[in-house]
Structure 1
Amino acid sequence: MDVSKLEKCEPKRLQDQTVTAVILALGSNYKAEYYLPHIRQQLTALGAVQLSTSFQNPDFTATLEQPKLDYTNQGVYLLLDSPMTLQQLQQMFKRLEGDCDRRRQADLTTIRQVTMDIDILLIKLIDIEEWTVMADRYPFKAHESAGIVELAAGRGFSF
C-alpha cells in the first residue's frame, strides 16, 4: 500500500466537498477505557464502522522535562449512511469530542488530559474513486499508518 501516491489536499480546499467515507484516528490519554467505547458507539449512528486494533503509545511530544500521559489510539473506517460535506463532518466530530468532555487547554505547563481526539486522515469524496489524504495529517504517525494498513486489509481495498 502506497499512500504517498494519493492526492493530498488541505482541508480548507475541501470544506464544501461531499464525503461518503473516512478513515479516522481516535486517541485518548485519559479514561480511554470509557471514552473509546463511547465514541465508537456514537460513530455507529453515522454509518458502518470497522475498527483497527487499539494501540498504546507514548505521547510523541513528551520529554524528560515535560512528561506526558500515554495515548490509546485506534483507526476507524466509517462508511457514512448519509454523505455530508467535510465541514459538516468536522463540526460533528468536534461536537462528539465535546460530548466526551474534551477540554482544549491553553495552559501548556500542566499535563494535558485528552478524553477524546478524532482526526480525519483520509476521505472518500462522492464520485471520486481514489481516497484523498488530509494534507494537515500527512505524513502519518506510526500508529496511524498501522491502523490504515489494518483497516485496508480488513476492507479488501488498497491505496
Structure 2
Amino acid sequence: MIAKLMMHKISVESDLGTLTQCVPETVQTQPVVEVVLALGSNYQAEKYLPLARKSLAALGKMRLSTAFQNPDFTATLVQPKPDYSNQCVHLTLNTPMSLQQLQQTFKTLEGDCNRCRQTEPNQVRRVTMDIDILMIRLANTENSLSDNIISKPMSDWVVMADRYPFKEHEKAGIEELTETNY
C-alpha cells in the first residue's frame, strides 16, 4: 500500500530524510491509521515470524517485504551472536488506534511469541520476536478508510525519531514495499 501512497516514483533514501520525524512521546495519544513495522527474530524465526504476521493480520490489511537474514550488528569475534531474520510490514488498521495502544498491542504480541527480555550477563540474547514501529500515518479529518486516503503522498508519514536513521534491512524492506504494486 505504500506504493499507492506515492503519486510518483521517488528515491526512498532521499525521501525518508525529508519526512517529519518525532519522538514517540509527542504523538502517544494521536490516532494512527497506518503503520510500518520492523519484525525481527534471532531464535526460531521460522516459527515466530508467521505467528506474529497472523496476529498482525487480525488488526488490518497487511503487506510484507521479503524476509531478510542479517548478522546481529552487535556481534563481535569475541562475542558472536545468532543471525536475525527481519521483515518489514505495512499495516492499514481496521480501526484507528493511538500510538500508545499500538505499542502495548505489539508488546503483548511479543509476549505471545514467548519474548523474554531478561537475560543473564554474558548470555546470548535469544529474541523470539521484536516489533519496532518505524513510521506511522496519523488520522486526519477525512475518513481514514476511504479510497481517497490511499492516494495521499508519502509526505503524510511520520518517522519515529528513535528509529531513524533506519538500518540497511529496514531501508531495503521499506523500499520493497514502496516499489511493489498490486
Q: Same fold (TM over 0.5)?
A: yes
Partner amino acid for 1:113? R
SS of 2:125's equivalent in the other structure is coil
Question: C-alpha separation between the residues in 1 aligned to 2:109 and 2:24?
Answer: 19
2:28 is aligned to 15
- Structure 1 residue runs of 4+, over 2 Å off? 105-108
Matching residue within 112, 115, 118 for 2:131: 118
Q: How many residue pairs are counted as aligned between the two chains?
A: 156
* Unmatched runs of 5 consecutive residues or more in structure 1: none
1:131 is aligned to 157
Given the alignment of the two structures, is residue 148 of structure 1 paired with residue 174 of structure 2, yes or no?
A: yes
- Give the C-alpha shift of residue 106 in structure 1: 4.1
Question: C-alpha separation between the residues in 1 aligned to 2:27 and 2:72?
Answer: 29
**Greater C-alpha radius of gyration:** 2
Matching residue within 37, 42, 45 for 2:50: 37
1:91 is aligned to 104
Aligned Cα RMSD in Å? 1.3
TM normalised by structure 1 equals 0.95
Question: C-alpha separation between the residues in 1 aligned to 2:22 and 2:120?
Answer: 31
Aligned ranges 1:8-87 → 2 under 5 Å: 8-87=21-100
Question: C-alpha separation between the residues in 1 aligned to 2:46 and 2:20?
Answer: 35
SS of 1:122's equivalent in the other structure is strand
Contact between 2:35 and 2:135, CA under 8 Å: does it hold in 1?
Answer: yes
Question: C-alpha separation between the residues in 1 aligned to 2:36 and 2:96?
Answer: 14
Structure richer in strand, relative to its length = 1
* Unmatched runs of 5 consecutive residues or more in structure 2: 1-11, 142-151
TM normalised by structure 2 equals 0.83
- Report % sequence identity: 60
